[in-house]
Amino acid sequence: MALLPNGRQIILVAVLDWGLGHATRCIPLIQQLLQQNFEVVIVGNGNSLVLLQEEFPNITTEKIIGYDIKYPFDNMVVNISFQLPKLFWAIIKEHLQLKKLHKKYHFSGIVSDNRYGCFLSDVPSVFMGHQLQIITPYRVLTKPVNFFHQAWLSLFDRIWIPDIENGLSGKLSHHTLKKVNYIGLLSRMKYADLPHKYKLVVVLSGVEPQRTKLEQLLTPQLKRIDAPTLLIQGKIGSKVMTQLSPNIDVIPYLTTTALNKAMQTGEVIICRPGYSSLMDLARLQKKAIVIPTPGQTEQEYLGKYLDEKKIVVCQNQNNIDLATALDKIQLTKGLTEFKNQDYLLQTAINAIFRKAETVS
């Protein structure tokens, strides 16, 4: 196994550009790798790579092909089905690009966050993801889709699920795979008991055009409620705050530290029930109103699952009623029951990468 002159192993972290959540949950992973004295190289594309470059300016990064999935329909299965040839070609191409990068860096290990081509047969390779069980709106498709999905995942040496057993992801993490580790909830957030400055903190995220659509739907209702509100648009770039009204502050983007503080000062968070967002809410132990992206079966399942458990209030994007949601939020317990277990990630890293170091 190749080592740097300083004796450190190089671990590749490959991040999917499918909203910012894949990048944000890789932040604690990368921090843990650095703490364990590994060298890290980050590969990715788009805004997720830009975010990680801002968070880790001293880490080497490389750009590789993106999956570039478009969303012309409100049904995720239909969107993916029409673009399968392009998706498979991207997976093949990223695998070939990875081989070239391996010749340059001589990786000692790979962690792929939902990048299906980022594995090598001669390098310990980990697939990280919570959705091992894919939910489709058509029952006839569910079994063959999951058979193929889990067969592909078997190409990796280990599967890391960012959750605890019987935890936040519900049936999404059910599987028939071997070599699976639960690594605990991955969140870049740190809990602090701060006074509330805002009644509502709105955190927009996800792919376009749905991010913009949600902002357009929420804005008039936020104005009517007229409670102290911070609207974080989720658009990487400017960090200049403006005002939508005397009671509503708007900012395009916040770095981790600033976002952490902003969310802590909000009484209620409004966001998508993307899994990374839910992990952040669990770390901060917040109450939340969640609005699934239309057609994203994963978000629709998580929103309904947590709403039924009286953990969050979930509303359909086509029928948003913030006044009603704020009444219902008082009856929820918030994301307070999912306790963090940081040692699980450290143990998983040692199990595959330190073991590989010993063998070499």
- The strand pair at 180-182 and 198-203 is best described as unpaired
Q: State the pTM of this model.
A: 0.86
- Chain-centroid distance, C-alpha 5: 34
pLDDT in tens, 122-169: 999 999 999 887 777 677 777 787 788 888 999 999 999 999 888 899
DSSP assignment of 45-113 equals: -HHHHHHHHHH-TTSEEEE---------SS-HHHHHHHTHHHHHHHHHHHHHHHHHHHHHH--SEEEEE
pLDDT in tens, 232-270: 998 877 778 889 899 999 999 888 889 999 999 999 999
What is the DSSP code (8-state) at residue 228?
A: -
Which CATH number fits the domain 10-187+340-359, given the four candidates 3.20.20.105, 3.40.50.2000, 3.30.1330.20, 2.40.50.100?
Answer: 3.40.50.2000
- Tell me phi and psi for residue 230, to 5 degrees: -115, 125
**Cα separation of 308 and 170, whole Å?**
12
Q: Which residue ranges make up each domain of the chain?
A: 10-187+340-359, 198-329
**Cα separation of 358 and 351, whole Å?**
11
CATH code for the structural domain at 198-329: 3.40.50.2000
Question: What is the reported pLDDT for 177?
Answer: 80
pLDDT in tens, 166-197: 889 988 887 778 899 999 999 999 998 899 99
Domains 10-187+340-359 and 198-329 share a fold: yes
CB under 8 Å to 49, separation ≥6 — which residues?
15, 17, 23, 42, 43, 61, 63
Give 200's strand partners.
Answer: 229, 268
* Least confident piece of the model among 29-33, 99-103, 236-240, 286-290: 236-240
